[in-house]
Amino acid sequence: MKDLILTMRPAHWSKNIFVFAALVFSQKLGQPLEEVKIAVLSSIAGFICFCLASSATYIFNDIADRQVDKKHAEKSKRPIASGKVSIYQAAALSIICAAVAVVGSYALVPQFCLIISAYLLLNVLYTLKLKNTLILDVIIISLGFVFRAIAGAVVIGVDISPWLIICTFALCLFLGFGKRRSELTFLKEAGPEYRKTLGAYTPELLGHMLNVTSSIAIISFLLYAMDSRTILHFGSHHLVYTSPMVLYCVFRFSALIQKGIYAGPVELIIHDKPFQIGFILWVIACLIVIYGNMFNIDIGITY
């Protein structure tokens, strides 16, 4: 049972936190208690559905990559690559996770089912073909996170902001190229054997990609924070003052990934305390800005 659970990669469920973005930034948490309960429960249900859907794709990917995973220092320990879980057990679990995710999403909101289905289809295409295409491989991964963010808006019945899509996509491009950079560092000459696109990526190219995408992510956030509609929506221009924490987290992530200190973004996010502190402080600051006006909290900053 333990190996089956590990096959679902529960540590990677943290990626589905993007489902909660719309809940926070739509100011739903400042509504009457009954509405808050419905919105929170809907978001949690959406999060669970995406956890199951993502696990289904992880398992499918591990089945397809089981031979090359055996050559990877860490991934060779995964239940499928190590032989602790058979292909038939893994395939059955993947189908069950996907089916429950689709049925659950339809029961929650029919439109959410379309998003989950599109996410599953995209990841099947990614595993079978698209992951071997330079740059497109990272774009596909990033689109998966955009689906998560859009789903978060759909399940609570709020409009999908273009800024939600732009900021999510830009940030996840940055994280995706960071993942490729860490793989290149850890796998070195064996990289192309494990992932074909790593033979085309170089440390210099990925360093450039990280610089470009980090700049786009930061600028996108600043434009969103200073947009007149954002200021009108929150009743405050203070969101822009959270940018130092955004810069710190982005720069620290880039520095640690390029130094090869962590094997990937998930490991960094889970284990790096300075990054965690910076992120938590940013979340707290955002909550104060987003809900401060609703609860008559004045932080006393003016132009």
The amino acid occupying position 210 is L
pLDDT value of position 76: 74
What's the pTM value of the predicted model, to 2 decimals?
A: 0.87
pLDDT value of position 166: 93
Cα 178 to chain centroid distance, Å, stands at: 13
Cα(108)–Cα(302) distance, integer angstroms: 42
pLDDT value of position 106: 96
pLDDT value of position 301: 47
pLDDT value of position 253: 93
Cα(139)–Cα(133) distance, integer angstroms: 10
Whether the CB-CB separation of 154 and 111 falls below 8 Å is answered with yes
Of 59, 120, 67, 121, nearest to 92 by C-alpha is 59
Q: On the CB side of 275, how many CA atoms lie within 13 Å of its CA?
A: 18
pLDDT value of position 57: 95
- Tens-digit pLDDT string for the chain (303 aa): 787 888 899 988 988 999 999 999 988 888 888 999 999 999 999 999 999 999 999 999 988 888 777 766 677 777 888 778 889 999 999 999 999 999 999 999 999 999 999 999 999 999 998 888 889 999 999 999 999 999 999 999 998 889 989 999 999 999 999 988 888 877 665 555 566 777 788 889 999 999 999 999 999 999 999 999 999 888 888 999 999 999 999 999 999 988 888 878 888 888 899 999 999 999 999 999 988 866 555 554 444
Cα(193)–Cα(181) distance, integer angstroms: 16
**Residues present in the chain in total:** 303
Task: Quote helix, strand, coil % in the chain, to nearest 5.
Answer: 80, 0, 20
Structure tokens at 207: 């360093």
Whether the CB-CB separation of 50 and 148 falls below 8 Å is answered with yes
pLDDT value of position 73: 67
pLDDT value of position 194: 60
pLDDT value of position 72: 67
